[in-house]
Amino acid sequence: MPKLILVRHGQSTWNEKNLFTGWVDVRLSAIGEKEANRAGELIKEAGIQVDQLYTSKLSRAIQTANIALSAADQLYVPVKRSWRLNERHYGALQGKDKAQTLEQYGAEKFQIWRRSFDVPPPPIEDDSEFTQVGDVRYNNIDPNVIPKSESLALVIDRMLPYWQDEIAKDLLEGKTVMVAAHGNSLRALVKHLDKISDDDIAGLNIPTGIPLVYELDSKLQPVKPAEYLDPEAAAAGAAAVAAQGQKK
Ligand SMILES: O=C(O)[C@@H](CO)OP(=O)(O)O
């Protein structure tokens, strides 16, 4: 039976500072490294053998996968990386403090930018210090395709072709696949797998560094609800993500 393990990267240095991150390539914090290690231990304890790893092109997801697979004694697992698994591009909000943004623009706008289904934040300027223009890791993609801001709907549009063309194929061959990615690119994938409505997805937050395991049938439908390998920590982590605007 195909198995899919989703892992949101461990806490990053910008998660720690409570900044909107998106495509800015920040690294894991010390806590994030510990979370990644724990993710690997949980994978090992669950007896999961990963056949194929997928990551985004962003260092925090790559670091998380490496640390986790090291802890699980599975560093040999083959890997494919794609920008299509990157975090949602946060546009002009990239680099901004979440609590300050909430204060400046109010709760309604903040929630719309952060969790509405199809309203992207204002676009990033090409001369912003947080732009991705000129970033060599995206040299092989059409510059017109690189987003300047994304809603969750736009993330789904760019993520799903990769799911269908690459990840789903591996799963259909019966492989156990691990995807190390980001809060919003994983929300996009969970929305697709669990058929969550455009309204209800606003209430879903994914905690950092806790593997979420799906068992799928031959049509890649979940045979039962996906399970976090540490449900208690996952519930606390998801609540903390939801409350990030309030963090001082
Ligand atoms: O800043 C970001 O890129 C994301 C994930 O950390 O934040 P949010 O949970 O607010 O969508």
Rounded to an integer, the average pLDDT of 164-169 is 98
Q: d(Cα 87, Cα 182) in Å, to the nearest integer? A: 5
Tell me what pLDDT residue 245 has: 77
- Give the pocket of ligand 1 (CB within 6 Å): 15, 20-22, 87, 90, 114, 183-184, 241, 244
Cα(193)–Cα(221) distance, integer angstroms: 7
Phi and psi torsions of 151, nearest 5°: -90, 175
Distance 242 CA to ligand 1 centre (A): 10
Fold for the domain defined by 3-241: Rossmann fold (3.40.50)
Asked whether the CA dihedral 93, 99, 104, 105 is positive or negative, the reply is: positive
Q: What is the pLDDT of residue 248?
A: 55
- What per-residue confidence (pLDDT) applies to 246? 75
CA 24 to chain centre: 13
Task: Say how many Å lie between the CA of residue 183 and the centre of ligand 1.
Answer: 6
Q: Supply 63's token pair.
A: 């670091």
Per-residue pLDDT band at 247 (split at 50, 70, 90): low
**Per-residue confidence (pLDDT) for residue 1, from 0 to 100:** 87
Distance from C-alpha of 26 to C-alpha of 12, rounded to nearest angstrom:
7
Cα–Cα dist 60/128, whole Å: 21
pLDDT tens, residue by residue, 206-246: 999 999 999 999 999 999 999 999 999 999 999 999 988 77
Work out the average pLDDT over 55-75: 98
Count CB-CB contacts under 10 A for residue 229. Answer: 20
* Residue 23 labelled as part of a binding site: no
Count of beta carbons in the 10 Å neighbourhood of residue 210: 25
pTM for this predicted structure: 0.96
pLDDT of residue 204: 96
Where do the domains of the chain lie?
3-241
pLDDT digits (tens, 9 = 90+) for 168-212: 999 999 999 999 999 999 999 999 999 999 999 999 999 999 999
Phi, psi of 33 (to 5 degrees): -65, -40
Residue 124: predicted pLDDT:
97
Q: What is the pLDDT of residues 67-126, one digit of tens each?
A: 999 999 999 999 999 999 999 999 999 999 999 999 999 999 999 999 999 999 999 999
CA distances from 205 to 99, 129, 146, 239 (A): 17, 28, 25, 7
ipTM reported for the complex, 2 dp: 0.95
Helix, strand, or coil (residue 8): strand
Residue 10 counted as an annotated binding residue: yes
| 198 CB-near residues (< 8 Å, 6+ apart) | 117, 118, 153
The number of the ligand 1 atom at minimal distance from the alpha carbon of 87 is 3
**φ and ψ at residue 41, rounded to 5 degrees:** -65, -40
Q: Is there a contact between 180 and 210 (Cβ–Cβ < 8 Å)?
A: no
* pLDDT the model gives residue 180: 98
